[in-house]
Amino acid sequence: MSELVASSYGKANVKFLKVKKNPSNPDEQEVLEANVQCLLKGDFDIAYTKADNAPIVPTDTVKNTILVEAKNTDVWPIERFAAHLAKHFTGKYSQVHSVEITIVQSRWSKFPLSNGKVHPHSFRYDGPETKRTFLTYDKFSKKLTLTSAIKDLTVLKSTGSMFYGYNVCDYTTLAPTTDRILSTDVYALWTFDPKAVPTLDSVLQKADEGLFDSTYDKARNTTLEMFALEKSASVQATMYNMSHSILEQVPEVATVSYELPNKHYILFNLEWKGIKGNKELFYPSPDPNGLIRSTVGRKGAAKL
């Protein structure tokens, strides 16, 4: 005999771009391009085990809801929209017990013209970097989790990075260095303390107060600033220091995680051409890459 152990369903890759006009100056606009995934959990077992579709809110309806709610409500910041959708789905349908919402926001930024002024409604695509939020909510336990993130912020420093003093054994070929290239695609995640955002309504309120925008700015600025300024002993030490700094700046954040590929740049050996001691020309090695992860929390809080 078999039994359904777990299930969730919904719509993925629901994409929109929303325009916001400044009411006192319609020429002045903002845009938000998003990719939303919304999964529902609850009393749906008979759909799987008895081929009974009665409880299913079609994924097409989930898609329509995301779009209509995106039109009718404020989607800035994405944490607010995630909380709004969670309220909607768990409130409207008795069979929906919990939701998992992921929103990925593209970066469109205004740019200055030759007159030095930022244009009010022209935007430049900033590349693959995204801002993300992940919200889960269970209406019976009232458990809410909220994590936001930066993904694919690609950085490189051409010096100011070291790696030495590591374990050496009969498998070691790596030479220690006090001067190397350091490059990574930053994936940084920060989880809000449930005591700071205990309910969906508190997410809406904190959005009004600017908590999510200011935390994003601090996380991004800290990542870039420490990457640039710190003489890195290792990816491990640098990511820990970044996490510590974000925790220090934002009391509402409980944990900070980083996932950083170490994208290796390897000096070409040009000795075949009589060129000794090449220190300028590197091979951007596509693979393999180091992959380093950490989660940093506050002392005394439970370990994950």
Ligand X SMILES: O=c1[nH]c(=O)c2[nH]c(=O)[nH]c2[nH]1
Contact between 266 and ligand X per CB under 6 A: no
Binding mask 275-304 for ligand X (x = CB under 6 A): ---------------x--------------
Contact between 235 and ligand X per CB under 6 A: yes
Give how many residues touch ligand X by CB under 6 A. Answer: 7
Determine contact, residues 102/132, Cβ cutoff 8 Å: yes
Which of these segments, 18-26, 47-55, 142-150, 228-236, binds ligand X (CB under 6 A)? 228-236
Nearest to 135 by CA among 153, 149, 116, 148: 148
Q: Is residue 60 marked as binding?
A: yes
**Distance (Å, rounded) from C-alpha 209 to C-alpha 78?**
14
Which of these segments, 32-40, 55-63, 93-101, 230-238, binds ligand X (CB under 6 A)? 230-238
Nearest to 253 by CA among 208, 188, 159: 188
Contact between 262 and ligand X per CB under 6 A: yes
Q: Position of tokens 């390897």?
A: 266
Residues written for the chain: 304
Contact between 226 and ligand X per CB under 6 A: no
Rounded least distance, CB 241 to ligand X, Å: 13
Nearer to ligand X, 160 or 290 (CB): 290
Rounded least distance, CB 235 to ligand X, Å: 4
Contact between 234 and ligand X per CB under 6 A: yes
Helix axis angle for 200-209 and 211-229, nearest 10°, is 60
Phi/psi for 261 (5° steps) reads -70, 140
- Alpha helices in 93-210, H assignment, sequence order: 200-209
Q: Catalytic: which of 41, 84, 87, 264?
A: 264
Q: Which tokens sit at 23?
A: 């009411």
Nearer to ligand X, 236 or 295 (CB): 236
Nearer to ligand X, 202 or 295 (CB): 295
Burial of 271 (0-12, 13-18, 19+ CB in 10 A): exposed
Which of these segments, 68-76, 190-198, 229-237, 241-249, binds ligand X (CB under 6 A)? 229-237
Site for ligand X in 147-176 (CB under 6 A): 163, 174
Nearer to ligand X, 123 or 265 (CB): 265
Determine contact, residues 189/148, Cβ cutoff 8 Å: yes
3-state secondary structure of 29: strand
**Distance (Å, rounded) from C-alpha 289 to C-alpha 274?**
30
Residues making contact with ligand X (CB under 6 A): 163, 174, 234-236, 262, 290
Q: What residues are labeled active site? A: 11, 59, 264
**Binding-site positions:** 59-60, 163, 180, 235-236, 262
